[in-house]
Structure formats: C-alpha cells, structure tokens
C-alpha cells in the first residue's frame, strides 16, 4: 500500500492542465479558471475624484469664519470647470476634481447658505481625493492565469471594461458506478438491493468543483459491461471516475476491464481509512481513478485524492487547499495502522477556541455522517491520538470547492 501523502502527490500529478480555452461572458465567469495573464488597460479611477460629498477648494483660500462663493455644482459624471481662485465647487462622491483644487472638505464640516459655503474645520491638502490610477494603473498586472474567478475578480475585470474573459474549458468528467445490487433512486427496490447513492453524490461533487459531469453510467458486474461503459466515458471525458469493483473479490472486475482496454495501474491501495481500495490508471493519456464502493469511502477519497488532480487539470493555481491543526475531542484514544480520516465538526469551545468533535459512528457505510461533518480530521498511522491532541483538519468547504 502507498502512504497517503505519496498517493495524493501521485494522483495530483497524473495529468496536466487542459489546453482547451474559451471566452465566456463576464457575467458567467465566476467559478471558471482564468486561462491567461491579464494586464490593466485603463487607470482606475480614470481621473482624480472625490471620496466624499463635499466641496473642492484651494487650501490657501481657507480662512476661519470666511465664506467662499460656490462656483459650480458638479455631480458624478459631469465635467467640472477649472476652479477659480477664492471659489469652491460643490462635489458629490465620484465627482471629478476640478483643475486648481487641492483638497475636498466633506459636507459635515461646512455650512452652505446664499450661494456661499463656510468651511468650519481647517482643511488639509489632498484630503478625501482619490487619485487617478491609485487602484490600478494601465499596464499593471491584473490577474494571473490559474486564478479561480469569484465575484471580487469579476468586479475587478468589469472595472476594466471587459465584457468577456478567457478561461480554461470546463473539465469533463465521466462517472461509472458498478454493482448488481444497486438500483436508481425513484425505482422499485427488492429487499436485497440498495439505492445507488454514489452516482448522484459524485455528480454533485464534480459540479461543486466547477467541472461538468458528462455521463453518469452504471455497469453490471461483468467485464463486458464495464468495458463498454469505460469506452463511452473515455471517448467523451477528460477524467473518468469509477466506483466499486476495485477490491479483491471474485466480481471486482474493474482492473481486468481496464487492462483489456490497455490501461496500466500506477496505484492500487492506499494506506488510509476509509478508502484503502483506490486505483489509478491511464488510457490514451486520460486518468481513470477507481474509488471504493462504500459511499463514505468514495466521498473521502474524492475529497482527499481526486480534487487535487481535478484542480490541476482545471489549470488552477491552488492545487492543495490549506490544512489547519486543531484539537480533537475524544473520550476514547485512537490508534490505527492506516492514516484515519474522521468525519468531524469544527465547533467553538467554551473558551472561544476551535475544536473538533467526531461523529459517533465512523463506519464507511454511515451516509448520515457526511452532511453532518464540516471536515475530515487526519489521524496519523501508528500514533495514539488522545483527547485534545492537535490533528490536521481538512475543511470540506475548501477541499470540495
């Protein structure tokens, strides 16, 4: 068995970034990965403007108790007249600063009457003025390739007047579930059968990464069915995920099916719990990751081992999200020969610090633990972990995004 860190690194490097790029409308860019470096093409702000509702004037014209005639009322979007000596211009937030003015006084420090304004507090030079280009300057680096675009990035790009943006094409993922005991949700079920939760779960996880689940297929436990399903997925997808059929049972036929199609296993079995039966193969340069059949195991392996590979293929800058160290609360010391990933909730302790609380039943078939958990706590192999020991915490908000 491969150690977990070795397996994670091997999988993360199993494929490179997709070379397919496309332009998408800026309104649809959130959740996509920027394909090229971008530079600013305009100064932001494009001209000196007021950060306040108030009055533009020359500091030299201010006198305590004095009043300045108002030369002009200039709204945001107007072009101001050059400021005459001894005058003030009424401005509003975003109004362009008139030539000749060197400060802005906010309206709370003024009294206006009869076309004049009294400045009740001594102004300082350059106050409340946003200078041209203080946010971004033409030619400056704006965003770099591999940025996962969010609403804040969209705002920055919109400020440059961009209506579309170059992004990496969506990662196309094929999903294959296996097992004669599985039936689709919404169909009649015999007592010996169970509903297929892995297919819908993996499709949702793939979408959560911003990828596209092109096919969600199911194959019976025969080599012919598996070969036919893999052939379809490999024709249409960049990455293939199969679930179940990769262990050592008589009807675990995924490995021979892949071998028939020319795939060579570069990984089989990982020293982790849950999730030991994991396989990685390639056919025509496309990675195929075979996950264990238990839903919790498939969920954990997807989060820990598949998402770094998917992010790499999406061209993202950040392949491995951050991992924190937090104390684990447990009444029973734990020790296992494999790296153990507990389903836990991150909670606030009585003293205001953060701590981890494990779900009571950690069986790999306990699906109810998955929506309950906020993350996975990693317990090192062959180490006794006791109450309040600090362990690695993988926040699923980050590891599944």
> What are the residue boundaries of the structural domains of the chain, listed by start?
4-19+170-314, 22-39+141-168, 49-130, 324-399
Please, what CATH class does the domain formed by 324-399 belong to?
mainly beta
Assign a CATH topology to domain 49-130.
Molybdopterin biosynthesis moeA protein; domain 3 (2.170.190)
Average pLDDT over residues 54-69: 97
Residue 250 has pLDDT above 70, yes or no: no
pLDDT at 64 over 90: yes
SS (H, E, C) the chain: CECHHHHHHHHHCCCCCCCCEEEEEHHHCCCCEECCCEECCCCECCCCEECCCEEEECHHHCCCCCEEEEEEEECCCCCCCCCCCCCEEEECCCCECCCCCCEEEEHHHEEEECCEEEECCCCCCCCCEECCCCCECCCCEEECCCCECCHHHHHHHHHCCCCEEEEECCCEEEEEEECCCEECCCCCCCCCCEECCHHHHHHHHHHHCCCEEEEEEEECCCHHHHHHHHHHHHHHCCEEEEECCCCCCCCCCHHHHHHHCCCEEEEECECEECCCCCEEEEECCEEEEEECCCHHHHHHHHHHHHHHHHHHHHCCCCCCCCCEEEEEECCCCECCCCEEEEEEEEEECCCCCEEEEECCCCCCCCCCHHHHCCEEEEECCCCCECCCEEEEEEEHHHHCC
Structure confidence at residue 30 as a pLDDT band (50, 70, 90):
very high
Q: What is the mean pLDDT of residues 80-84?
A: 98
Tens of pLDDT along 4-24? 999 999 999 999 999 999 999
Q: Is the pLDDT of residue 247 over 80?
A: no
Query: How far apart, in whole angstroms, are the C-alpha atoms of residue 127 and residue 136?
Result: 20
Q: What pLDDT score was predicted for residue 268?
A: 84
* Rounded CA separation 38/43 (Å): 14
Taking residues 246-270, what's their average pLDDT? 83
Burial 237-252 (b: 16+ CB within 10 A, else e): bbbbbbbbbbbeeeeb
pLDDT at 364: 87
Question: Which one is the CATH code of 4-19+170-314: 3.40.718.10, 3.40.50.300, 3.40.50.10490, 3.40.980.10?
Answer: 3.40.980.10
Within 8 A by CB and 6+ apart from 105, the residues are 54, 55, 57, 119, 121, 123, 127, 128
Tell me what the mean pLDDT of segment 353-358 comes to: 97
Q: How would residue 376 be classed by pLDDT, with cut points 50, 70 and 90? A: very high
Weakest mean pLDDT among 125-129, 162-166, 180-184, 303-307? 180-184
- In which residue are the tokens 């008139």 written? 98
Residues 6+ apart with CB under 8 A from 382: 335, 336, 337
Closest CA to 394 of 4, 81, 3: 4
The pLDDT assigned to 248 comes to: 60
Q: What angle do CA 17, 8, 173 make, to 5 degrees?
A: 45
Residue 220 clears pLDDT 80, i.e. is over it = yes
Q: Is the pLDDT of residue 365 over 90?
A: no
C-alpha 175/C-alpha 194 separation (Å) is 19
Average pLDDT of the residues in 165-185: 96
Q: Please, what is the end-to-end C-alpha distance for the chain in angstroms?
A: 28
Average pLDDT, the chain: 96
**375-379 and 339-348 beta bridge pairing:** antiparallel
Residue 278, pLDDT above cutoff 90: yes
Q: Pick the most confident of 139-148, 249-258, 363-372.
A: 139-148
Q: How confident is the model at residue 60 (pLDDT cuts 50, 70, 90)?
A: very high
The two tokens of residue 366 are 């306990």
The dotted CATH code for 22-39+141-168 is 3.90.105.10
pLDDT beyond 80 at 61: yes
Arithmetic mean of pLDDT, 133-141:
97
Residue with tokens 């998402």: 307
pLDDT in tens, 83-107: 999 999 999 999 999 999 999 999 9
> What pTM does this model have?
0.90
Domains 22-39+141-168 and 49-130 share a fold: no
Q: Do residues 39 and 139 touch, judged by C-beta distance below 8 A?
A: yes
- Please list, in sequence order, all residues whose beta carbon lies within 8 angstroms of the beta carbon of residue 94, skipping any fewer than 6 positions away: 49, 50, 76, 77
> Is residue 371 scored above 90 in pLDDT?
yes
Contacts of 84 (CB under 8 A, 6+ apart): 71, 100
């Amino acid at each position: 068995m491969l150690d977990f860190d070795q397996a994670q690194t091997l999988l993360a490097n199993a494929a490179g970034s997709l070379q397919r790029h496309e332009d998408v409308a800026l309104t649809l860019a959130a959740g996509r990965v920027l394909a090229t470096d971008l530079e600013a093409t305009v100064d932001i702000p494009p001209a000196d403007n007021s950060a306040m509702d108030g009055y533009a004037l020359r500091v030299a014209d201010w006198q305590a108790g004095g009043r300045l005639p108002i030369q002009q009322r200039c709204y945001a979007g107007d072009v101001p007249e050059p400021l005459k000596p001894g005058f003030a211009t009424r401005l509003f937030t975003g109004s362009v600063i008139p030539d000749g003015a060197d400060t802005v006084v906010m309206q709370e420090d003024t009294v206006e009457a009869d076309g004049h304004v009294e400045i009740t507090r001594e102004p300082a030079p350059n106050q409340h003025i946003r200078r041209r280009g203080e946010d971004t300057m033409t030619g400056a680096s704006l965003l770099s390739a591999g940025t996962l675009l969010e609403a804040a990035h969209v705002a920055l790009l919109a400020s440059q007047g961009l209506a579309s943006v170059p992004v990496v094409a969506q990662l196309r993922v094929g999903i294959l579930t296996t097992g004669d005991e599985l039936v689709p949700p919404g169909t009649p079920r015999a007592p010996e059968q169970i509903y297929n939760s892995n297919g819908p779960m993996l499709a949702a996880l793939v979408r959560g990464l911003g990828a596209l689940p092109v096919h969600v297929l199911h194959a019976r436990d025969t080599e012919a069915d598996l070969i036919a399903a893999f052939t379809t997925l490999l024709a249409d997808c960049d990455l293939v995920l199969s679930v179940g059929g990769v262990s050592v049972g008589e009807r675990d036929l995924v490995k021979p099916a892949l071998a028939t199609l020319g795939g060579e296993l570069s990984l089989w079995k990982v020293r982790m719990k849950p999730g030991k039966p994991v396989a990685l193969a390639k056919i025509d340069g496309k990675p195929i990751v075979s996950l264990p059949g238990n839903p919790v195991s498939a969920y954990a392996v997807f989060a820990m081992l598949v998402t770094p590979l998917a992010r790499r293929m999406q061209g993202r800058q950040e392949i491995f999200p951050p991992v924190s160290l937090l104390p684990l609360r447990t009444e029973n010391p734990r020790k296992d020969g494999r790296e153990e990933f507990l389903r836990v909730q991150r909670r606030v302790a009585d003293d205001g610090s953060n701590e981890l609380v494990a779900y009571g039943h950690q069986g790999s078939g306990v699906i109810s633990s998955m929506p309950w958990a906020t993350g996975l706590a990693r317990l090192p192999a062959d180490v006794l972990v006791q109450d309040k020991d600090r362990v690695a915490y993988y926040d699923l908000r980050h590891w599944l995004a």
